[in-house]
Amino acid sequence: MRIALLVAALLLSAPAAAQEKTVKFLVGFPAGAGLDTMTRLVADKMRVRLGQPVVVENRPGADGRIAMDLLKAAPPDGLTLVMTPLVTVVTAPHVFSNLRYDAFADFAPVAHAANFLFGFSVGPNVPAKNLAEYVALVKQDAKFGSYASAGAGSLPHFFSVLFADTARIPMVHVGYKGSAPAITDLMGGQISAFMGTASDVAAQHKAGRLRVLATSGALRARILPDVPTFKEQGYNIEGGGWYAAYAPAKSPKDAIDRLAAAIGEALKSPDVREKLEALGMEPTGYGPAELARIHKADYDKWGPVIRASGFKPEN
């Protein structure tokens, strides 16, 4: 009788044990960055919704591509995700011929998490208060056309290429290893301009240490309401970045739907939204189908721009 009761108890506890398996979020960037902060906020909410542990594992390197390699190699069991910016799945496939993953075949879209905008800034040594003045300045003296981004091959790099082409001015890209050193050199006068996320430059703009001349959205950035968009200033360009969650290809649909619902619910939480908006993000929480559509649309949009830039990575 005791044996029978023990067997029954084990059988009843099996589904609960399965539910206790840990969900792992890979993040291909260092702890403390905006993407990492967002992922941890989402993971905290998901633990409650899913009733199981959700951990964040930082695997930085190669602009997020290392984490994508790890995701591809992970079993498709609904327990491993990556939270990534679009650079790994939109620009990298156009830039790198030696990628070890296929951005469409190797991953299953789970949820679109948030949008963010770019800000184009100049340092205190650049006497331009708007884009028209900046463009005129570069046409007079090409040295003002040197600009930085947080990394060669990044989307801010290519958005600047789009701006230079639209404005018909010569601009020379200087790639940095991150936003912080680029902004330091911008404020110190070692570089004339910088294209990065709006949140990277908002505080320094408000403090008067640099000037953000334009933001990249259809509407003004909430974090920089005093700064007009490129479109408002007569340059018909628009764009921005996003963060999204992916799982390994062939992950079960019911697992993906369950994870997508948990991520979406987390991003609707008022406290999460407030914290992300303060970081310059617009929480979205779109599901797998909408993420797939956005991914393909941006892949098609940026391909011609990247090819036209002539950019070739060093490795």
pLDDT in the model for residue 14:
39
pLDDT in the model for residue 83:
97
pLDDT in the model for residue 199:
87
pTM: 0.84
CA 238/CA 225 separation, integer angstroms: 17
C-alpha distances in angstroms, 43 versus 5, 32, 50, 81?
37, 15, 10, 11
Query: pLDDT tens digits for 267-298?
Result: 999 999 999 999 889 999 999 999 999 999 99
pLDDT in the model for residue 57:
96
Q: What's the chain's average pLDDT?
A: 91
Q: What is the mean pLDDT of each run of 10 residues along the chain (315 residues)?
A: 46 47 93 89 96 94 92 97 96 92 98 96 96 97 93 88 95 87 93 93 94 95 95 95 97 97 97 93 97 97 90 70
Q: Provide the 3-class DSSP secondary structure of residue 228.
A: coil
How buried is residue 39: exposed, middle or buried, by Cβ count under 10 Å (0-12/13-18/19+)?
Answer: buried
C-alpha distances in angstroms, 148 versus 44, 90, 128, 282, 308?
35, 21, 17, 25, 19
pLDDT in the model for residue 152:
82
pLDDT in the model for residue 314:
61
CA 72/CA 70 separation, integer angstroms: 5
Give me the helix-helix angle, 253-268 and 270-278, nearest 10°.
70
3-state SS, 152-220, equals CCCHHHHHHHHHHHHHCCCCEEEECCCHHHHHHHHHHCCCCEEEEEHHHHHHHHHCCCCEEEEECCCCC
Q: For 109, what's the count of Cα atoms within 13 Å in the CB-facing half-sphere? A: 21
pLDDT in the model for residue 74:
98
Domains contained in the chain, CATH given: 17-115+241-309 (3.40.190.150), 118-233 (3.40.190.10)
CA 109/CA 260 separation, integer angstroms: 9
Query: pLDDT tens digits for 190-248?
Result: 999 999 999 889 999 999 999 999 999 999 999 999 999 999 999 999 989 999 999 99
